Structure 1
């Protein structure tokens, strides 16, 4: 785990996973949610649907190198609270 890079370790569906808000993940999230810029993204993140949460979590997993987990996320038994907490931790870590 590279904390200086903003990586966080989370347990999702009983498995340890690495999340990271990379520039690529950020661009993927903005495109998927139809927003541009940090302020618009922050506003949009307050109103996430379950589908949106999966999109954001998958992008963060890909940013952390967890490609297989990201691709199978829609089939994983991930608790919504667990997913939301993981997303929050990744954004906090990226903020420094």
Structure 2
């Protein structure tokens, strides 16, 4: 079971729920992968809708690794994301939101 107060989000992969979490290590790997000069630049890329599918795959991979499922991007694209690209993008957006929102500050109460 995921804990939104820890920044955890579920992503369905091949019918199995997988926990995603952006740890500091996962964020550092993602920042380097996306060749961003800062954490703020990386966040802005997603907030402004300037991300590519490759960026989304990188974010999902970082989140899955931070959640304990060690997978690389090449492995992840071989799997089926339950709900397709829209569900993947929604899970990624929620992951970023929970990672950078203080507990209790979410209007939906973490749902």
What's the offset of the Cα at 1:13? 3.8
What's the offset of the Cα at 1:76? 1.1
What's the offset of the Cα at 1:83? 1.2
Q: Deviations over 1:24-70 (max 9, x none)?
A: 11111110111132321122222222222111110110001011xx3
Counterpart of 1:11 in structure 2 is 12
The reply on whether 1:63 has 2:66 as its aligned counterpart is yes
Higher helix share: 1
Of residues 57, 82, 86, the one that matches 1:81 is 86
- Structure 1, unmatched stretches of 5+, are none
Counterpart of 1:41 in structure 2 is 42
What's the offset of the Cα at 1:89? 1.0
Runs of 4+ that moved beyond 4 A: none
**Take 1:93 and 1:25, find their aligned partners in 2: how far apart are those partners?**
15
Higher alpha-carbon deviation: 1-10 or 52-61:
1-10
Contact 1:12–1:82 (CA<8 Å) still a contact in 2?
no
- Structure 2, unmatched stretches of 5+, are 103-111
**Take 2:98 and 2:13, find their aligned partners in 1: how far apart are those partners?**
17
**Take 2:21 and 2:41, find their aligned partners in 1: how far apart are those partners?**
20
With the length of structure 2 as denominator, give the TM-score of the two structures. 0.74
> How many residue pairs get matched?
94
| Greater radius of gyration (CA) | 2
**Take 1:13 and 1:88, find their aligned partners in 2: how far apart are those partners?**
20
